[in-house]
Amino acid sequence: MKTLRLLQNMVYEGIKLQHLNFDNYILSKSEVKRDILFKYWNDKGQDAKPIYHYLGLDKDKDSIEILKYIIEYNGGLQKYHSKIKSLLLTGEPVIIDTGGYTIEYLLTEIKFLDSFEDARINPVGYDIDGLINGDTSSVTLFITGEEYNLGELQTAHNNSHFIGMEEHDVEELMYEIGDVIRLYYDDITEMYGAVNDSADWNIIDGTTFKGKNIPKTKGDF
């Protein structure tokens, strides 16, 4: 009800509506939806709890319409890309700690897939490429509780020497790394309408990894 009262206040402050039904939480005009979304984001921040359902918008079925509002709010496609890049901390190492994996990852490149024709499936897709610190990154197996260093696993995989593990187990772990990284970045950008399509990576030693760090700020994009 707090969100509903906030929406009502937004309307009464000056947004003129002709087809508003608060009983059903449905708005019929796109410009009204846009004005309410923009005011809500101004008041609460764009990472606030989504209110699309109050506006008669379905997050999946109306993804293109929602994305257009998001891009317009951020000042157009180029500035929207800059927003996503700043959120992803390109050039700065992050620690991804989930699903038994601890990965020190440095995102080095983002490639946006800007076809709005494909937006019904993937609103704004992007591919990423990056580096993994092989000295500090590891995976702990759920079944055995054993911990393996990712740098050592990579070396074992390259040399077909699987350090007490079956070959298919090592290959599965190496495959999962990309999914772990992709989902990490998905969680950051999903509410902004951007979805990580694929995450590539290369494991390198710690000294080389530290030399690759190129910290960037929002002003660099």
What is the maximum span of the chain, computed from C-alpha positions, in angstroms? 70
**Sign, Cα dihedral of 117, 121, 124, 45:** positive
Q: Could you tell me the residue range of the domain that residue 208 belongs to?
A: 80-220
Task: Detail the DSSP E strand segments found in 53-123.
Answer: 93-98, 101-113
CA 126 to each of CA 190, 201, 219: distance values in angstroms, whole numbers, following the listed order: 11, 15, 21
Q: What is the pLDDT of residue 103?
A: 97
Is 73 contained in some domain? no
Does residue 175 sit in the same domain as residue 209? yes
Amino acid 9: pLDDT: 58
Q: Is residue 64 part of a domain?
A: no
Residue 4's pLDDT is: 54
- Residues 114, 49: one domain? no
The pLDDT score that the predictor gives to residue 63 is 85
Structural domain total, the chain:
2
Q: What is the mean pLDDT of each run of 10 residues along the chain (221 residues)?
A: 56 46 54 92 92 89 89 91 90 93 95 61 78 95 87 80 70 90 94 90 92 51 32
Q: Is 146 domain-assigned? A: yes
Q: What is the pLDDT of residue 10?
A: 55
**Same domain, residue pair 97 and 181:** yes
pLDDT of residue 172: 85
Could you tell me if residue 103 is inside a domain?
yes
Task: Single out the residue in 23, 42, 57 at which a domain terminates.
Answer: 57
Specify whether 24 is located in the same domain as 88.
no
Task: Please indicate, yes or no, whether residues 84 and 8 belong to a single structural domain of this protein.
Answer: no
Instruction: Note if the pTM is more than 0.85.
Output: no
Backbone angles phi, psi at 104, to 5 degrees: -95, 110
- The answer to whether residues 154 and 209 belong to one domain is yes
